[in-house]
Structure 1
Amino acid sequence: MKKLKEFYRVVKEFLKIAPTLFTYKPPADDEFQSMGLLFEKTAKKYSDRLAIIFEGRELKWGEFNRLVNQFAHGLKKLGVQRGDVVSVFLDNRIELLASVLALAKIGATAALINNSLRGKPLAHCVTVAESKKVLVGEEVLGAIEDVRSELELADKDYFWLRDDPIQSDSETVPDWCVDFSAVVPTMSESNPVETADILAGEKALYIYTSGTTGLPKPAVIYHRRFLSAAVPYNAAGLQAKVDDRIYMCLPLYHITGLGPGFGSALVSGASIFLRRRFSASKFWCEVQEHRTNLFVYVGELCRYLTMQPECPEEKNNPIKTMMGNGLRPDVWDQFRKRFKVDRIAEIYGSSEGNAVFMNFLNKDRTIGASAASLMLAKYDVDNDELVRDPLGNLIEVEFGDPGLLLAEINDKYRFDGYKNRDASEEKIIRDVKKKGDSWFNTGDLIRQIDVGFAMGIPHFQFVDRVGDTFRWRAENVSTNEVAEVLNTCEQVDIANVYGVEVPGAEGRAGMVALTLAEGVEFDAESFATFVRKELPAHARPIFVRLQESVETTVTFKLFKSKLKKEAYHLDQCSDRIYVLKPKFNSYEPLEQGFYQQLVEGTAGY
């Protein structure tokens, strides 16, 4: 009876989404379709329906469109032209979305910069995108001011946006900024004429991703890509309707928040409750107050919610569907059971990748299926390399075994890559199954799993990241990027960065093996001050291991495998280890008492 019930449920799910999946045709590069045009049509269709709730402000779709139009006309007046790149650097708020949509309406590209970046990474992100202007929020103005001397931008290329546009008594605008908040209200509310002429093959966004090497790289998001994801994401995943409301607290500089989240709202006319940042303690109260029935997540947020004490507001909550990525299998079970969420549409993909997975049949503990041509290649994790047979061919893994996910690049599943062509080429493996073919290397280990009856559709599960990138606090961390920053610290000779598992925590925590400069004694407080200044919170090492000398491979690459295995375990290494405890500002020697909390999963990470 249970199997028969599951059979009917799966068939019902499949029939519900099949019309969209089989009939939707992604736009061609030369079609007049864009983010801006989609928004304009939705705003017209649902003009009097609520679009956004944010910190006491409410905007209907029509009102939001008029605001975006004012942004667009203001940007044009200040010299932004079609094809220009403008860095967008501010908190999650209405003005960030208005900036992105306004740039899309006039054919410019929004480079969405992580608002926690400071110093060299921030300057790099503005520069590498070849930004002509910077839209900067009042709340992060100091970060831009610190790197202004490193940027090749003139005064008045910085457009200042008041943090609270309702108030007029905000901070004095620096003389090197244009008060864009004062410009906007004077602009026309009419739709820009050029919006109808923007092509699907034009660049809409740069989304930055930490690859396996170097500083953040801008991945290219064309209008066609955004549109071709938004429609199936909503139809097969979130399934938003105009009467629904989406709880959105993910950073909008991430594709998960902007794509599946806001993209679903653009397609459906659903409203969104927008938050600057996630709060586990306020989540259920806000869900009940604003009657949000859809939730866009990353796994770390769900883990935080399961760690919270039970509260009355979580009972009989309205959340019916959630969509996102990185939900651990153990947290998955806890979340569904405790909070009674009917539908979990886990997805897998990347800003730059060509393959997307979705759990559209609502199975448990799976990233779902993909229509792309895939290969799970055997991978030697210890030596960080693909395994080949005697003829030099890649080896496909057996069912259930983890393999490196490769996705074939073809006309349907294109690899748009990064702004930098060399960086894009590094992600491609050629001549995999036949001469001349090309495959995108995701850098992730995936395995195929048995999910029961699934219409014969193969389902998969995420296993881990490989190489020099790990995930912490729902962010990708490039070990080389962090090491480059740490190597500039006066105390440090060489920094070797890697990720280590912490029981009970999502992803991997950063750990660095430091070889100190000659004659230097480690100053934990000074090092912590440097780390806080130069690195965003998610990239700061949790553990520091002090080594007398650096270990390298025979090809002089920094040796990581042994370090990863020994991690912070006091019984496996004799080096001094320091730890940055939760809510502490400095590193302390790792002692047996706290170590025991770490291994028991009760340390609070």
Structure 2
Amino acid sequence: MQPKPVTGLNVLTSTLRILPDIGRILKGIYHLASAKADKYQSIGRMFETRAAQHPDQCFLRYEDTQYSYKQFNLWSNQICHYLASQGVKSGDVVALMMENRPETLACVLGITKLGAIVSMINTTQRDEVLLHSLTTVTPKMTIIGEECVAVYQDVADKINKTPEFKQFYMADGSTTPAPADFIDLDKALEDQPTHNPESSSQIQMKQTAYYIFTSGTTGLPKASILTHFRWIKAMGAFGLSAFRIRHNDVFYVCLPLYHNNALTVSWGSIVGAGATMVLARKFSASRFWDDCRRYDVTAFCYIGELCRYLLNQPEKSNDREHKVRVMGGNGLRPDIWMRFKQRFGVPQIMELYGASECNIAFVNSLNLDMTAGYCPMSFDIVKYDIEKDEAIRDAQGFLIPVEKGETGLLIAEVTERSPYEGYTNQKANQSKIMRDVFKDGDMYFNSGDLVQRQGYKHVAFVDRLGDTFRWKGENVATTEVEEVTNQFPQIDHSVVYGVQIPNSDGRAGMAAITLNTELNQFDVNSFSEHVKSKLPGYAVPLFLRIRQQQDITGTFKYKKGDLKKEGFNFETFNEPVFVLLPNQTQYQPLDKQTLSQLNLGAVQI
């Protein structure tokens, strides 16, 4: 099922349905309109306001523990005062490496109240990748959870430390003492003051609040800059205007706090409404709906892969027995959108689009099906040449917008209202900026994403530029192929990408698939017929790689970069590969002789 154009009737009927929530929507618009980069407002100040308004309201539930807004605010104040006494000041960077638990969020809040910057370290990183993340932003201090100490210590000696550098330890529900060279942060907080610090009201919205690292699917992670401005805009746009979170909502957060959807979208939505957060240590597909029932959850934030994991769980008679009224997030693919909605009975799916480094965002505030939603900011969708890997320019040297229903590159104008905050790496920043786009001197952010123009300022995500490939003179969108392969009943997950074949132009399609049955039960004949009947010839994958499980990042993204490098040479990864050779009607196991012929360019594809 493919996304459809948005019509005027869609917009009208959906607008009428949301009229009862107009007050909350207008409140969100007010926060958006009043957000100015130079204004003195901050995450910490927003939280202090909520704590004063609703001191006894439950802010956070974690397992069997809960904290009111007042309790959590006082705790974060202690962290703020203590770190200030240790020399942390506005603009300094503190690296934080802890799994999802209350201490993590309390540290984020305490550090940002100082005007300092939290570097959110991905807790799944190891060795050189971890060292890169710890050093790329030069932290003045680190706070390491007990659960992450061992992997941190593997690289700690290689960190460039200033004379003021300190390492703090946060116990994980145990009495294990802090390792040598660490300061026990819990103990240090015992005699700290609890009043709101003056610093939280001296922060301008344009100041950086934290760094979120890219997933690192195609290289070393880059640190994306997230300002107080972005967080407060997200609170208004997502939490109030789109999700329309209420004071009595219970919002489930199972994505890692180093992910933008958790720390910006979810947390901002919760604080904006004075609602309650239920924090899970990590995502569990088997426990997800049980948690929703246990805590009376009414809202949650997702990424697309999370939804697929839930859908792949065995069906239960109580799948629709929950109180969830809205789910918001990004990456819910068209092939599972309606199945998910019908099976679990969630009435509102607020899909959104907006990478950590992107200067605009789309949100499905009208609750339409299979759309990333609407954006009021200045953007366009332009023609793109996949083979040359560049946007197409006209005779005057300017880019060419696509028509409604067509697919192109999404670009967003960089303006005072939509500034580009980007990465800490200036070279990476320049590579994302396009100049002289529609007139001399204008400037646009290059999203690196292909989207479909649906009309009425709505778009549907199609593919990442680096994932779309060209074969037999045609562009192949991996998401469209994955939609078809995932429809086959014996397949749990599939990841599609392009691989190079010697003496062939372009890239041939390859699908890494995980089965929900044993390999000897896989009906290759039926699968061959399935893909050939559903896809044009050029889009049918030539290779299948059978995997026990897919490799994913800590933010649930598939590691396509590694798959592309390994190609179809099964001798390097020891997993079965099937190939659909010319004049064959079905996939056959790839053997050493055929592999050798392919590598020599002796097989005409």
TM interval, shorter chain, is 0.7 to 0.9
The counterpart of 1:263, out of the listed 235, 254, 268, is 268
Shift in CA distance, 136/68, structure 1 to aligned 2, threshold 3 Å: same
Please give the alpha-carbon distance, in whole angstroms, between the structure 1 residues aligned to 2:300 and 2:350: 10
- CA contact under 8 A between 1:580 and 1:588: conserved in structure 2? no
Shift in CA distance, 92/326, structure 1 to aligned 2, threshold 3 Å: same
- Three-state SS of the structure 2 residue aligned to 1:332 is helix
Please list the CA deviations of residues 159-194 of structure 1 after superposition, one character each: whole Å capped at 9, or x if unmatched.
111111xx43x2x42212111122122322222222
Alignment of 1:88 onto 2:74 = no
Identify the residue that residue 138 of structure 1 maps to in structure 2.
Answer: 146
Please give the alpha-carbon distance, in whole angstroms, between the structure 2 residues aligned to 1:180 and 1:416: 32
Identify the residue that residue 383 of structure 1 maps to in structure 2.
Answer: 388
Please give the alpha-carbon distance, in whole angstroms, between the structure 2 residues aligned to 1:500 and 1:371: 28
What is the CA-CA distance between 1:321 and the residue it aligns to? Answer: 0.6
- CA contact under 8 A between 1:210 and 1:469: conserved in structure 2? no
- Counterparts of 1:358-507 in structure 2, within 5 Å, are 358-449=363-454, 457-467=456-466, 503-504=485-486
Shift in CA distance, 56/510, structure 1 to aligned 2, threshold 3 Å: farther
Please give the alpha-carbon distance, in whole angstroms, between the structure 1 residues aligned to 2:467 and 2:132: 20
Identify the residue that residue 549 of structure 2 maps to in structure 1.
Answer: 582
Please give the alpha-carbon distance, in whole angstroms, between the structure 2 residues aligned to 1:288 and 1:27: 36
- CA contact under 8 A between 1:319 and 1:341: conserved in structure 2? yes
What is the CA-CA distance between 1:419 and the residue it aligns to? Answer: 1.5
Identify the residue that residue 228 of structure 1 maps to in structure 2.
Answer: 233
Identify the residue that residue 178 of structure 1 maps to in structure 2.
Answer: 183
What is the CA-CA distance between 1:344 and the residue it aligns to? Answer: 0.8
Please list the CA deviations of residues 125-152 of structure 1 after superposition, one character each: whole Å capped at 9, or x if unmatched.
1111121111111111111111112201
- CA contact under 8 A between 2:312 and 2:492: conserved in structure 1? no
Please give the alpha-carbon distance, in whole angstroms, between the structure 2 residues aligned to 1:199 and 1:218: 21
- Counterparts of 1:98-113 in structure 2, within 5 Å, are 98-113=106-121
What is the CA-CA distance between 1:40 and the residue it aligns to? Answer: 0.9
State the one-letter code of the partner of 1:404: L
Percent of aligned pairs with the same amino acid: 34
What is the CA-CA distance between 1:379 and the residue it aligns to? Answer: 1.4
Task: Provide the aligned C-alpha RMSD in A.
Answer: 3.5
What is the CA-CA distance between 1:579 and the residue it aligns to? Answer: 5.4
- CA contact under 8 A between 2:392 and 2:399: conserved in structure 1? yes
- Which is further off, 303-312 or 47-56? 303-312
- Three-state SS of the structure 1 residue aligned to 2:374 is coil
What is the CA-CA distance between 1:299 and the residue it aligns to? Answer: 1.1
What is the CA-CA distance between 1:584 and the residue it aligns to? Answer: 10
Please give the alpha-carbon distance, in whole angstroms, between the structure 2 residues aligned to 1:351 and 1:440: 13
What is the CA-CA distance between 1:439 and the residue it aligns to? Answer: 0.4
- CA contact under 8 A between 1:500 and 1:564: conserved in structure 2? no
State the one-letter code of the partner of 2:53: K
Please give the alpha-carbon distance, in whole angstroms, between the structure 1 residues aligned to 2:578 and 2:89: 60
The counterpart of 1:157, out of the listed 148, 152, 166, is 166
What is the CA-CA distance between 1:36 and the residue it aligns to? Answer: 0.6
State the one-letter code of the partner of 2:462: V
Please list the CA deviations of residues 283-310 of structure 1 after superposition, one character each: whole Å capped at 9, or x if unmatched.
1111111100111111111111111112
Shift in CA distance, 401/211, structure 1 to aligned 2, threshold 3 Å: farther
Please give the alpha-carbon distance, in whole angstroms, between the structure 2 residues aligned to 1:107 and 1:418: 19
- CA contact under 8 A between 1:500 and 1:567: conserved in structure 2? no
The counterpart of 2:128, out of the listed 111, 116, 120, is 120
Please give the alpha-carbon distance, in whole angstroms, between the structure 2 residues aligned to 1:92 and 1:180: 17
- Three-state SS of the structure 2 residue aligned to 1:314 is coil
Please give the alpha-carbon distance, in whole angstroms, between the structure 2 residues aligned to 1:388 and 1:408: 17
Alignment of 1:20 onto 2:27 = yes
Please give the alpha-carbon distance, in whole angstroms, between the structure 2 residues aligned to 1:161 and 1:176: 13
What is the CA-CA distance between 1:316 and the residue it aligns to? Answer: 2.8
Please list the CA deviations of residues 318-361 of structure 1 after superposition, one character each: whole Å capped at 9, or x if unmatched.
01011100001121101111111111111000111111101001
- Which is further off, 426-435 or 121-130? 121-130
Please give the alpha-carbon distance, in whole angstroms, between the structure 2 residues aligned to 1:372 and 1:508: 35
- Which is further off, 90-99 or 504-513? 504-513
Please give the alpha-carbon distance, in whole angstroms, between the structure 1 residues aligned to 2:161 and 2:496: 34
What is the CA-CA distance between 1:412 and the residue it aligns to? Answer: 1.1
Identify the residue that residue 509 of structure 2 maps to in structure 1.
Answer: 565
What is the CA-CA distance between 1:88 and the residue it aligns to? Answer: 1.0
Please give the alpha-carbon distance, in whole angstroms, between the structure 1 residues aligned to 2:20 and 2:479: 42
User: Gaps spanning 5+ residues in structure 1: where?
Assistant: 451-456, 471-497, 514-544, 552-558, 600-605
TM-score of the aligned structures, taking structure 2 as reference length: 0.78
Alignment of 1:286 onto 2:291 = yes
Please give the alpha-carbon distance, in whole angstroms, between the structure 2 residues aligned to 1:271 and 1:568: 40
Alignment of 1:339 onto 2:283 = no
Identify the residue that residue 474 of structure 1 maps to in structure 2.
Answer: none
Please give the alpha-carbon distance, in whole angstroms, between the structure 2 residues aligned to 1:5 and 1:225: 30
Identify the residue that residue 299 of structure 1 maps to in structure 2.
Answer: 304
What is the CA-CA distance between 1:499 and the residue it aligns to? Answer: 11
Identify the residue that residue 55 of structure 1 maps to in structure 2.
Answer: 63
Please list the CA deviations of residues 524-555 of structure 1 after superposition, one character each: whole Å capped at 9, or x if unmatched.
xxxxxxxxxxxxxxxxxxxxx9x9x8x9xxxx
What is the CA-CA distance between 1:154 and the residue it aligns to? Answer: 6.2
Please give the alpha-carbon distance, in whole angstroms, between the structure 2 residues aligned to 1:368 and 1:302: 18
What is the CA-CA distance between 1:375 and the residue it aligns to? Answer: 1.5
The counterpart of 1:43, out of the listed 51, 54, 65, is 51
- Which is further off, 371-380 or 349-358? 371-380
Shift in CA distance, 501/154, structure 1 to aligned 2, threshold 3 Å: farther
Please give the alpha-carbon distance, in whole angstroms, between the structure 1 residues aligned to 2:214 and 2:118: 15
- CA contact under 8 A between 1:106 and 1:194: conserved in structure 2? yes
Identify the residue that residue 453 of structure 1 maps to in structure 2.
Answer: none
Please give the alpha-carbon distance, in whole angstroms, between the structure 1 residues aligned to 2:115 and 2:181: 26
Shift in CA distance, 508/210, structure 1 to aligned 2, threshold 3 Å: farther
Please give the alpha-carbon distance, in whole angstroms, between the structure 1 residues aligned to 2:195 and 2:374: 43
User: Gaps spanning 5+ residues in structure 2: where?
Assistant: 1-7, 470-477, 514-523, 529-537, 553-571, 588-605
State the one-letter code of the partner of 2:185: F
Please list the CA deviations of residues 67-100 of structure 1 after superposition, one character each: whole Å capped at 9, or x if unmatched.
1112112212222122100111110111111111
Please list the CA deviations of residues 357-377 of structure 1 after superposition, one character each: whole Å capped at 9, or x if unmatched.
010011011011111212211
